[in-house]
């Protein structure tokens, strides 16, 4: 039998901001459901703390922007060594690409730094139970990232089909454009005149819906 006492979730905070590691850590530690049992000013220090096993840790609350190892690199290293340890990113977040990348490294969710200590504590308890946690802002960013990725894939599929429909000679020109070749080098590669190469390049770009070769290359790179 137990006496009904709630055991606080043991949290390690990883952040290079002294305010977070002192003032906010104290505010979070004051919540009955949470105990801040360790802090680290960077990813390297966090990994050392974990490897020393000097603290039993239930959840890692991790900043994403740090000077030595950033949050994504730290998350990757922690998840590799301690795959069962929940990781929650704690950040001011403004970039949906970093959010998506962090998710790929196995983090359990995202909490923005404008959340109250009480709300962060609630999130830590949920994460310790294996649940995903998410502030409103990252949720919006995830939706935006998903929509952007869907648009990118749709555009890529349209381009692929358009390339397949090009005449053989223009397919050769398209391949040359992706290599960044000039008209002169395209002409030499295809054994045609430079003026003909210029006409072919213009035709290929028009059929594929690009205003310039730079736009074509940027689209191919996913930018």
Least trusted range by pLDDT, from 82-86, 105-109, 200-204: 105-109
Mean pLDDT of the chain: 85
Question: Residue 169: pLDDT band by 50, 70, 90 thresholds?
Answer: very high
Separation in Å, CA 217 to CA 148, 155, 205, 220:
18, 13, 11, 5
Of 124, 141, 158, which residue is a domain's last? 141
Shared-domain flag, residues 83 and 18: yes
What CATH number has the domain bearing residue 51? Answer: 3.40.50.2300
For residue 2, being part of any structural domain is answered with no
Query: Which pLDDT does position 203 carry in this prediction?
Result: 94
Query: Which pLDDT does position 109 carry in this prediction?
Result: 81
Query: Which pLDDT does position 221 carry in this prediction?
Result: 75
223 pLDDT exceeds 80? Answer: no
Shared-domain flag, residues 46 and 94: yes
Please give the tally of structural domains in the chain: 2
Shared-domain flag, residues 135 and 187: no
pTM of this prediction?
Answer: 0.58
For residue 160, being part of any structural domain is answered with no
Of 106, 141, 176, which residue is a domain's last? 141
177 pLDDT exceeds 60? Answer: yes
CA geometry: angle 190, 196, 197, nearest 5 deg:
55
> What is the residue range of 192's domain?
166-220
CA gap 186, 163 in Å, rounded: 18
Mean pLDDT in residue range 77-106: 76
Joined together, the tokens standing for residue 135 give 């502030």
Residue 219 main-chain phi, psi, to 5 deg: -65, -40
Query: Which pLDDT does position 67 carry in this prediction?
Result: 76
Burial of 142 (0-12, 13-18, 19+ CB in 10 A): middle
3-class SS letters over the chain: CCCCCCCCEEEEEECCCHHHHHHHHHHHHCCCCEEEEEEECCHHHHHHHHHHCCCCCCEEEECCCCCCCCHHHHHHHHHHHCCCCCEEEEECCCCHHHHHHHHHCCCCEEEECCCCHHHHHHHHHHHHCCCCEECHHHHHHHHHHHHHHHHHHHHHHHHHHHHHCCCHHHHHHHHHHHCCCCHHHHHHHHCCCHHHHHHHHHHHHHHHCCCCHHHHHHHHCCC
């Amino acid at each position: 039998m137990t006496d009904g006492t709630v055991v606080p979730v043991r949290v390690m905070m990883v952040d290079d901001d002294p305010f977070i590691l002192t003032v906010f850590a104290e505010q979070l530690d004051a919540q009955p459901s949470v105990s801040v049992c360790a802090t680290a000013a960077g990813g390297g220090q966090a990994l050392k703390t974990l490897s020393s096993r000097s603290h039993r840790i239930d959840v890692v609350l991790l900043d994403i922007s740090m000077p030595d190892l950033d949050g994504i690199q730290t998350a990757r290293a922690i998840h590799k060594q301690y795959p069962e340890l929940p990781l929650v990113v704690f950040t001011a977040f403004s970039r949906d690409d970093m959010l998506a990348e962090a998710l790929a490294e196995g983090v359990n969710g995202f909490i923005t730094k404008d959340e109250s200590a009480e709300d962060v504590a609630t999130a830590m308890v949920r994460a310790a139970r294996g649940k995903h946690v998410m502030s409103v802002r990252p949720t919006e960013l995830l939706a935006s990232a998903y929509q952007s990725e869907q648009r990118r894939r749709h555009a890529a599929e349209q381009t692929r089909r358009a390339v397949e429909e090009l005449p053989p000679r223009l397919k050769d020109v398209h391949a040359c454009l992706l290599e960044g070749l000039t008209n002169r080098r395209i002409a030499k590669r295809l054994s045609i005149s430079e003026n003909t190469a210029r006409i072919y390049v213009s035709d290929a770009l028009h059929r594929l819906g690009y205003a310039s070769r730079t736009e074509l290359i940027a689209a191919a790179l996913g930018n």
